[in-house]
A = this chain, B = another copy of it.
Amino acid sequence: MKNFTFQNPVKIIFGKNTIPQLAVEVPQGARTLIIYGGGSIKRNGVYDQVFEALKGRAIFEFPGISANPDFETCLKVIDLIKKENIDFLLAVGGGSVIDATKFIALASQAEGDLWEILTKNKYPEKALPFGTVLTLPATGSEMNSGAVITKAETKEKRVFGTPLVFPKFSILDPETTYTLPTEQIANGVIDTFVHTTEQYLTYPVGGALQDYFAEGILKVLVKNGEQAMKAPENYEVRANLMWASTWGLNGWIAQGVPEDWATHMIGHELTAFYGIDHAQTLAIVLPGLLDVLREEKAEKIIQMGERVFGISDGSRENRIDVTIQTIDSFFRRLGIGTHLSNYGLGKEAVQKVVERMKERGWALGEHHNITSEVVEKILTKQL
């Protein structure tokens, strides 16, 4: 096991009818800005529950945070924060709303070129405090200190992270997910699945507990993913998916073990160029990446096959093949295509991503050997 230092102070409030606890968790007297997305929270009643809990408080709101939240919109929110002397933020939504809120919490306290927070990790010394009400289980953003922000102007998708942007609390009510479109459920399951494999499908370092935890998350997704789409109001299914998605990226399963994240980094470019949903890009990239890197990831792929999918027969090569095929078919059973052609893309998309990788000079993955040439091989397999 590798050495590590980690702390995750996020307070989790989980379960049915937990949104009223905002009345206790949002500081009394705070001028609070509620940040949300496109209006689904108005249709599913979450918006009303939030406002009911905070009745009589100094509340402001900023709707309209989009998927793959953009830097430019965040700047508008920061203007509002300064104008209204906001001192607490409440993100109500999924990972995009929470990620935007994290950036806004930090950037609102910074001076100078705010884009350098994302390109040069230039962080101010403090951030505005904020809480979250999660309505879309997927990114784990509700219990971590990272976020992804896109510059719409240049189609650049960037990641940042600092303990300053751990939420003070996150409210997770599985019933808020009953009304999600099936495609968003599927995306969330795949996002969590690939978060987990990024921290698990590398090489063995003897982190037995971390492996069991990661495999537990994957088994929950495999068992409940399709069920969630078929039976939207099954509380147990939705509760397990919601809790698993938080654990997929709250940091604990990564401690003491290697991490990959190449699937995410390659996928981000497909989203930035073509607007493909984040999870869809992961579903495209992961099967190809595992096939191209099958030798260096062999032990963990075989372990995952055996422990998550029960694949224990056949030769080493055969077990690797079947495990990758099983992952691929799981994604497809959720209704998410695993090939570029499913999204109307071809060789030119491969070239565009490869060119950007070249520009960046990145060498991704746990062995830092996924260069632009390797990315080309991976995406070509997934044409």
Contact B1 A243 (CB under 8 A): yes
How many monomers of this chain does the complex have?
2
A213-B213, A220-B212 in contact; A206/B1 too (CB < 8 A)? Answer: no
Query: How far apart sit A363 and B284, CA to CA, in the bound complex (Å)?
Result: 55
Q: Which has the most chain B C-beta neighbours within 10 Å: A2, A5, A169, A256?
A: A5
Q: Judge whether A346 is part of the interface by a CB distance below 8 angstroms.
A: no
Inter-subunit contact B4/A15 (CB<8 Å):
yes
B255 touches A14 (CB 8 A): yes
Chain B residues closer than 8 Å to A4, beta-carbon distance = 12-15
Q: A209-B216, A209-B243, A209-B244 are in contact. Are A256 and B5 (CB under 8 A)?
A: no
Closest B residue by C-beta to A25: B5
A207 cross-chain contacts in B, Cβ below 8 A = 240
Please list 20 pairs of residues, one from A and one from B, whose beta carbons are closer than 8 Å in the complex, sorted by A's number. A1-B14, A1-B15, A1-B239, A1-B240, A3-B16, A4-B12, A5-B14, A6-B11, A7-B9, A14-B256, A15-B256, A206-B239, A207-B240, A208-B216, A208-B224, A209-B240, A209-B247, A211-B216, A212-B217, A239-B256
- Interface positions of A from 6 to 41, Cβ below 8 Å from B: 6-16, 18, 21
Residues of chain B with a CB closer than 8 A to A256's CB: 14-15, 239, 243
Q: Which residues of B contact A212 (CB under 8 A)?
A: 212-213, 215-217, 219-220
Q: Which of B1, B2, B5 contacts A12 (CB 8 A)?
A: B5
Q: What's the nearest-Cβ distance from chain B to residue A33, in Å?
A: 23
Cβ of A295 under 8 Å from chain B: no
> In the bound complex, what is the Cα–Cα distance between A10 and B244 (angstroms)?
21
Across the interface, which residues of B come within 8 angstroms of A15, CB to CB?
1-4, 256
Bound CA span A323–B16, Å = 35
Query: Judging by beta carbons under 8 Å apart, are A220 and B209 in contact?
Result: yes
The interface residues of chain B lying within 8 Å CB-to-CB of A215 are 212, 216
